[in-house]
């Protein structure tokens, strides 16, 4: 017997209870605005009360943009090799803010070819260059959010979506720190769009353009290798390696110095003057937590956690079939993008702005499902984790800074736990697990509500473990004598050979047949079946007689249809199926 579809018997954890409370629609209309206004107002006051190019804290306005502006000036003057000279960098930034003195200087750590992108800005004054950079970044961010909304058919309005995305604290940090995260988000969106539209080569070319921050492309690049998407991998290699080839031709010494000095960057982020409280990757989080105890232990733990995350990524793409129109694929892709951030060797909290893309993928999947009690129960853990990721974006780095100060005074050694990293890891785990469960539902082997009759020598989960693609058209449902009830059956070819017995699964509908019929309709749509035949039994026949059966045949849309028309077709078909099922 399938298990009950009633309320969950498991107690709800504090994590989930608080997360669901934060995700309440009334709170989501107020809290994001508060999250945006408070830090932005503090930053504006700091800039307004500063002197010259410095803010109140003695930092250069635009923070990291100083390094980009310096690279543009050096590129115009033919001094690219000096980008690896700490003395030259320090002297340039000292002269930029003279006669004032800035608190420290910003190190250039990007590849030399990226300096060419800032050469046009190097001919302007610092203030003008920063203003132009902010305008270009803001326009890129708005355009990216609107493209994502259209690509994923998100239900929120343009203004609402821009408000939510702009209120995420890493987005504000991208702006105030003068970073390039908006352009990274645009390139990652282009790559994801290519994968969803089945243009793997374009997706790979866009991913390779992240060579100016190669650590952001590692996770998705490995996922493409795990999934054996060689066209996308080839595109990424062509564009990424091509950038370094051009860089070597133009500035061979600077390129060679950068390649040889790159491994030292992992040591640089662990220096005492580096603000480690903003590190958010698994490696950086391990250093933040354990460096005060033992650097060797922190390195081992960071490497182990990164390897474990990549192993989970490998298992995920061995279980989820590559079908961009399926919800399981989109969920797996969302989990991959989150893991890609976590496995980055160097990830500062402003680059967590890229979490907006996987979150949008998940929201697109959840908003396309029929609203029902069972669907809400199934989605609640993901919704709670998403709320935690969103709202921890602001306090997490500053809580880490506070932990460092308190622990230094108590124990003499600074250590802290980056809560945002933990929240993203939990989010990625739940989304990835849901993707695998959706694969099980797609092939009809979800153990929670599906019973099976099969060859007793074959395990029930054989098809699930080997990720067998659904190639058979769903069979016509058989009818029963229970009023307003029916049984839906599907057959999945056995992977061993065409002569092996099929694995037959069935789902009995009782009371919530509307949602179950919709689920079966969605499976047929994902499987690319040309038609779906639905039979509903009436209750006017005696148990000893044959029941009267109503049969309807619906034409299903092909998965190559644009996503917005596919969702409209899916919604209309679901309404007709609900009417048929009573």
Is residue 72, in this structure, part of any structural domain at all?
A: no
Whether residue 457 is found in the same domain as residue 434:
no
H-state helical runs in 3-125: 14-22, 25-28, 31-48, 65-77, 86-97, 119-122
Is residue 369, in this structure, part of any structural domain at all?
A: yes
Whether residue 142 is found in the same domain as residue 163:
yes
Its pTM stands at 0.75
Is residue 70, in this structure, part of any structural domain at all?
A: no
Whether residue 147 is found in the same domain as residue 281:
yes
pLDDT digits (tens, 9 = 90+) for 180-208: 999 999 999 999 999 999 999 999 999 99
pLDDT digits (tens, 9 = 90+) for 414-454: 889 999 999 999 999 999 988 887 765 443 333 232 222 33
Last residue of a domain, one of 398, 422, 440: 440
Whether residue 200 is found in the same domain as residue 149:
yes
Residue 468: pLDDT over 60: no
Q: DSSP labels for 445-490?
A: --TTT-EEE--TTS-TTHHHHTT----SPPPPPEE-SSTT-EEEEE
Whether residue 332 is found in the same domain as residue 457:
no
SS (H, E, C) 521-548: HHHHHHHCCCEEEEEEECCCCCCCCCCC
Integer Rg of the chain from CA:
27
Q: Which of 57-61, 77-81, 176-180 has the highest mean pLDDT?
A: 176-180
Pairing assessment for the beta strands 478-479 and 531-537 based on DSSP bridges: unpaired
Give the residue from 131, 224, 137 showing the smallest Cα distance to 172: 137
Residue 469: pLDDT over 50: no
Whether residue 450 is found in the same domain as residue 434:
no
pLDDT digits (tens, 9 = 90+) for 247-297: 888 888 888 888 888 777 777 777 767 888 999 999 999 999 998 888 899
Query: Which residue range(s) make up the domain with 456?
Result: 444-581
Whether residue 448 is found in the same domain as residue 428:
no
Is residue 114, in this structure, part of any structural domain at all?
A: no
Whether residue 415 is found in the same domain as residue 459:
no
Whether residue 522 is found in the same domain as residue 572:
yes
Whether residue 470 is found in the same domain as residue 402:
no
- Once rounded to an integer, what is the mean pLDDT over residues 157-180? 93
Is residue 539, in this structure, part of any structural domain at all?
A: yes
Greater model confidence, 478 or 434: 434
Tokens 């989605």 label which residue? 379
Average pLDDT, the chain: 75
Is residue 567, in this structure, part of any structural domain at all?
A: yes
CA distance 298 to 413: 14
Is residue 326, in this structure, part of any structural domain at all?
A: yes
Count: domains in the chain: 2
- Once rounded to an integer, what is the mean pLDDT over residues 475-501? 31
Whether residue 299 is found in the same domain as residue 184:
yes
Last residue of a domain, one of 409, 440, 471: 440
Whether residue 432 is found in the same domain as residue 458:
no
Last residue of a domain, one of 440, 466, 488: 440
Both structure tokens of 518: 């919709």
Give the residue from 435, 303, 459, 313 showing the smallest Cα distance to 379: 435
Is residue 58, in this structure, part of any structural domain at all?
A: no
């Amino acid at each position: 017997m399938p298990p009950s579809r009633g309320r969950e018997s498991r107690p709800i954890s504090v994590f989930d209870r608080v997360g669901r409370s934060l995700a309440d629609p009334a709170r989501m209309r107020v809290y994001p605005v508060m999250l945006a206004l408070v830090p932005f107002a503090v930053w504006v006051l700091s800039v307004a009360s500063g002197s010259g190019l410095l803010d109140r804290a003695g930092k250069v306005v635009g923070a990291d943009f100083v390094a980009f502006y310096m690279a543009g000036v050096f590129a115009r003057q033919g001094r690219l090799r000096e980008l690896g000279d700490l003395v030259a960098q320090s002297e340039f930034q000292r002269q930029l803010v003279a006669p004032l003195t800035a608190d420290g200087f910003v190190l250039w750590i990007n590849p030399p070819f990226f300096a060419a992108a800032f050469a046009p800005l190097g001919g302007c004054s610092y203030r003008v260059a920063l203003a132009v950079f902010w305008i270009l970044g803001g326009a890129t961010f708005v355009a990216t959010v609107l493209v994502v909304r259209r690509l994923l058919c998100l239900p929120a309005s343009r203004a609402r979506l821009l408000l939510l995305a702009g209120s995420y604290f890493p987005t504000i940090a991208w702006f105030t720190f003068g970073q390039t995260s908006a352009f990274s988000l645009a390139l990652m969106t282009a790559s994801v769009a290519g994968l969803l539209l089945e243009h793997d080569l374009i997706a790979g070319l866009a991913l390779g353009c992240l060579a100016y921050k190669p650590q952001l492309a590692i996770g998705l690049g490995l996922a493409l290798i795990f999934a054996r998407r060689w066209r996308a991998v080839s595109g990424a290699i062509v564009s990424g390696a091509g950038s370094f080839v051009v860089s070597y031709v133009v500035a061979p010494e600077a390129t060679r110095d950068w390649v040889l000095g790159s491994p030292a960057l992992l040591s640089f982020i662990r220096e005492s003057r580096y603000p480690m409280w903003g590190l958010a990757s698994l490696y950086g989080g391990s250093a933040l937590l354990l460096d005060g105890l033992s650097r060797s232990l922190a390195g081992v733990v960071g490497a182990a956690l990164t390897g474990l995350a990549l192993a989970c990524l490998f298992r995920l793409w061995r279980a989820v079939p590559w079908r961009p129109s399926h919800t399981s694929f989109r969920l797996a892709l969302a989990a991959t993008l989150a893991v890609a951030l976590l496995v980055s060797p160097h990830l500062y909290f402003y680059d967590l702005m890229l979490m907006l893309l996987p979150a949008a993928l998940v929201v697109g999947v959840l908003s396309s499902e029929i609203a029902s009690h069972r669907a809400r129960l199934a989605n609640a853990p993901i919704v709670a984790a998403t709320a935690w990721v969103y709202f921890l974006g602001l306090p997490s780095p500053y809580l880490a800074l506070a932990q460092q100060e308190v622990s230094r005074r108590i124990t003499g050694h600074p250590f802290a736990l980056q809560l945002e990293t933990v929240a993203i890891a939990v989010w990625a785990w739940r989304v990835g697990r849901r993707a695998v469960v959706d694969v099980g539902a797609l092939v009809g082997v979800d153990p929670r509500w599906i019973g099976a009759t099969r060859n007793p020598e074959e395990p029930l989960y054989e098809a699930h473990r080997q990720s067998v693609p659904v190639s058979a058209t769903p069979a016509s449902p058989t009818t029963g004598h229970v009023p307003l009830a029916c049984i839906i059956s599907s057959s999945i070819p056995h992977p061993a050979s065409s002569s092996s017995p099929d694995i037959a699964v069935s789902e009995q509908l009782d009371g919530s047949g509307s949602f179950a019929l919709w689920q079966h309709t969605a499976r047929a749509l994902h499987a690319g079946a040309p038609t779906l035949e639905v039979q509903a039994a009436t209750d006017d026949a005696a148990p000893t007689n044959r029941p009267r059966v109503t049969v309807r045949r619906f034409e299903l849309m092909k998965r190559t249809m644009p996503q917005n028309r596919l969702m409209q077709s899916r919604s209309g078909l679901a309404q007709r199926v609900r009417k048929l099922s009573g």
